[in-house]
Amino acid sequence: MEAAADPELQSFIEAETQKQRFQGLVHQLTELCWDKCMEKPGPKLDARCEGCFVNCVERFIDTSQFILNRLEQTQKTRDPFSRSLTD
Amino acid sequence: MDGFSSDFSPAAPASASGKLDTGAIMEQVKVQIAVANAQELLQRMTDKCFRKCIGKPGGSLDNSEQKCVAMCMDRYMDAWNTVSRAYNSRLQRERAKM
């Protein structure tokens, strides 16, 4: 309890939590993009493969933003989608 | 890594005055996070490289399988670093937009 009130510790925990969230997503994305981009591990990561990983990360974030935006919109307009959720 | 676990069990470290030692707590948290990350990486890497390299499990991990696993580990680390960089630069760009 006393520890939670320590401002130094609090900001440290916040920063570490943030870092951990980042690392967690890197683990998840590496695994996901590995399945999409890696055919057979060679002696080095070639440029084409590296590009695939970069695109994979970018498109994943685009997708997550797209889904979030679309859900937000469908919530607002209450189109058939939101009804189907409650049915 | 074995040595780390024994550090976790005692209650929060206290200085001579009996107050919680913030610095020591932060050190412990850092170590625990590092261990957790290493385990996470190890687990996913083992899974991926087993799938890539061991087609039909034989009587032993033969030479070509070992070579494949070694190469796979290195490429997995490359991939991890590439993803980390790409994600980080995307975050930076998103932040600049706001």
Tell me the pLDDT of chain B (98 aa) as tens digits.
Answer: 344 344 444 455 555 555 678 889 899 999 999 999 999 999 999 999 999 999 999 999 999 999 999 999 999 999 999 999 999 999 999 999 88
ipTM over 0.85: no
Identify the CA nearest to B79 among candidates A83, A7, A10, A28.
A28
B20 with A23: Cβ contact below 8 A: no
Positions in chain A short of pLDDT 50: 3
With contacts defined as CB-CB under 8 Å, which chain A residues touch B12? 3
Architecture of the domain defined by B2-97: Orthogonal Bundle (1.10)
Residue A29 amino acid letter: L
Name the residue in chain B with its Cα closest to that of A44: B75
Q: What is the mean pLDDT of chain A?
A: 88
Q: What pLDDT was estimated at residue A25?
A: 96
Q: State the CATH number of the domain containing residue A45.
A: 1.10.287.810
User: Which residue of A8, A45, A57 is in closest CB contact with B75?
Assistant: A45
How big is the A-B interface in CB pairs under 8 Å?
A: 88
For residues B4 and B29, is the Cβ–Cβ distance under 8 A? no
Identify the CA nearest to B48 among candidates A53, A36, A54.
A36
Q: What pLDDT was estimated at residue A75?
A: 86
Give the integer Cα–Cα distance in Å for B95 and B98. Answer: 5
Q: Which residues pair with B14 in a beta bridge?
A: B20
Q: What pLDDT was estimated at residue B12?
A: 53
Q: For the packed helices B63-97 and A7-37, what is the interaxial angle rounded to 10 degrees? A: 120
With contacts defined as CB-CB under 8 Å, which chain A residues touch B69? none
User: Which residue of A3, A23, A31 is in closest CB contact with B48?
Assistant: A31
Containing structural domain, residue A78: 2-86
Give the integer Cα–Cα distance in Å for B72 and A50. Answer: 15
Query: Is the CB of A43 inside 8 Å of chain B's CB atoms?
Result: yes
**CA quadruple B65, B71, B74, B76: dihedral positive or negative?**
negative
Counting the structural domains of chain A, the total is 1
Q: What pLDDT was estimated at residue A6?
A: 82
DSSP secondary structure string for all residues of A4-42: HH-HHHHHHHHHHHHHHHHHHHHHHHHHHHHHHH-SS--
Q: What pLDDT was estimated at residue B33?
A: 94
